[in-house]
Amino acid sequence: MNKRKKTEIQDFDRGIYDLKNKVNYRDKMENGISEDIIRKISAKKKEPQWMLDYRLKALKLFNELENPTWGPDISEVDINKITTYISPDADLSVDWDDVPEDIRNTFDSLGIPEAEKDQFLSGVGAQYDSEVVYHSMQKYLRDQGVVYTDFDTAIKEHEDLVKEYFGRAISPGLHKYAALHYAVWSGGSFVYVPKGVNVDVPLQSYYRLNAPGAGQFEHTMIIVEDDAYCHFIEGCSAPKYNVLNIHAGAVEIFVGKKATCRFSTIENWSRNMYNLNTKRSIIQEDGKIEWVSGSFGSRVSYLYPASILVGPRASAEMTQISFAGPGQNLDTGAIMIHAAPDTKSYVNSKSISKGGGICCYRSLTEIKENAHGSKASSSCESLMLDNQSRADTIPVIKIENKDVDFGHEATIGRIDDSVIYYLMTRGISEEEAKSMVVRGFAEPVAKELPMEYAVEMNNLINIELEGSIG
């Protein structure tokens, strides 16, 4: 009997999310990572010298750092088998009709432009493989000084601002794949909200990886000045292949005094993807960050959004859910660092596992010596749908002063058979009864999402519940 390679994934049908286009590219780097490849990427983008220097410094760190040891095994990840840059045969456009038809049809199927047309969104960005192919924003926001553009354009048109903040929230030395990101980043979005401006309708960027054996390394930077507000939505997906793919994006968020940023994301990668993503925010006095996250798909995920509360009375909230099916190991959680007095943090984490899938909630709550009067709480609930699945909770708590209020609660359980039986006596099938219970379990996360994304999340849950590995 032939042994199947580790990267061969017999994934179930995920409908529109598994749509594949022929890989038509304008530029494609050879596999692996080297100084020559990085210089080629930088030259193609016509970057300033400081960005090339930053990339080369990150490359050195990547070569020096070992793989993270705190999470699931990622020894299969071999950058020498990955194309770190592949540019689609398309230019950046502000008119949806100018996007090449095959790419446009893919995003149309995913519903990306419809929300913009229905004015559910005030701006939309769409990235395909390594480059952004579409970006737009409503005129009334531009008139208020809001900037929402692709990251390459931001470097050209807002270089001083980008240079001031680039790498401040996430250091290339944070871990090996943060270094990889800074060495080969491409694409992403840049948001700047001036003081006192309320972006009343969400902005959205969607990242689609189409090419097999490739990596996606977008960089997102969001700057919300004092007394301002912004809601940013991120969507991600990729079709299934029987080869390794990597996602190592980065999100840096800076929240000013009395400002609020809400960051919502639904990640729906295929099961040949290693999702090694890094997200961190820095929050000033009386500022607030709100994270809402759904993690679906991917073979392995490392995802722990961090909130660094540096101003008095700053606060952070995290609401998240993950769903691990057969062959998946999703390591997710949150980092809350209280570095000022009277700061607050709250985490509500839920996970669902079936078919031998593994979900792990891994967190760090650190309350510094000067963070008197701080309050922190976390709630972690895990639902296992069978005897083969696994759920772990690994909280790390570091408290350096006595004037704090901290609480942590974790529960792990199975679906109550009596509930399923009751629903079946009312004429509901066993399959639908289980779906109802799972959707009810996920409802606290769904209600934090805009309606269109709550619907998508419930659809993804249904796909996961119905799917199987052949």
Q: Look at residue 398 and tell me if it is in a domain.
A: no
Question: Which residue matches tokens 């530029």?
Answer: 27
Q: Are residues 184 and 60 in the same domain?
A: yes
User: What per-residue confidence (pLDDT) applies to 114?
Assistant: 60
Q: Given 271, 303, 335, which residue is the final one in a domain?
A: 303
- In DSSP terms, 408 is beta-bridged to 378
In a domain, 24, yes or no: yes
pLDDT at residue number 108: 78
Question: What is the domain range of residue 424?
Answer: 417-470
**Residues 59-107 pLDDT 10s:** 999 999 999 988 999 999 999 999 999 988 888 888 878 888 888 888 7
Using alpha carbons, select from 354, 348, 352 the residue that is nearest to residue 326.
Answer: 354
pLDDT tens per residue across span 2-27: 333 444 444 556 666 666 667 777 88
Q: Using the 3D structure, point to which of 280, 303, 326 is the last residue of a domain.
A: 303
Summarised one tens digit per residue, pLDDT across range 432-469 is 888 888 888 888 888 888 777 787 788 888 888 875 33
Question: Alpha carbon of 82 to those of 45, 213, 250, 445: distances in Å?
Answer: 20, 5, 18, 34
Report if residue 278 sits inside a domain. yes
Residue 54, classed as helix, strand or coil, is: helix
pTM above 0.75, yes or no: yes
Count of structural domains within the chain:
2
For residue 41, being part of any structural domain is answered with: yes
Q: Return the closest-CA partner of residue 153 out of 173, 132, 168, 176.
A: 132
* Separation of alpha carbons 122 and 137, rounded Å: 6
Q: Does residue 337 lie in a domain region?
A: no
| C-alpha span between 91 and 98 (Å, rounded) | 9
Burial state string for 422-457 with b = 16 or more CB within 10 A and e = fewer than 16: ebeeeeeeeeebbbebbeebbeebbebbbebbbebb
Helix axes 417-425, 430-446, angle to 10 degrees: 120
Compute CA distances 462 → 281, 442, 458, 468, whole Å. Answer: 32, 12, 6, 12
| Whether residue 118 has pLDDT greater than 60 | no
pLDDT at 212 over 80: yes
Would residue 260 count as lying in a domain? Answer: yes
Is the pLDDT at 182 greater than 50, yes or no? yes
pLDDT of residue 415: 82
Residue 442 shares a structural domain with residue 299: no
Residue 316 lies in a domain: no
- Whether 196 has a pLDDT exceeding 90, the answer reads yes
In a domain, 86, yes or no: yes
- Domain stop point among 303, 325, 340: 303
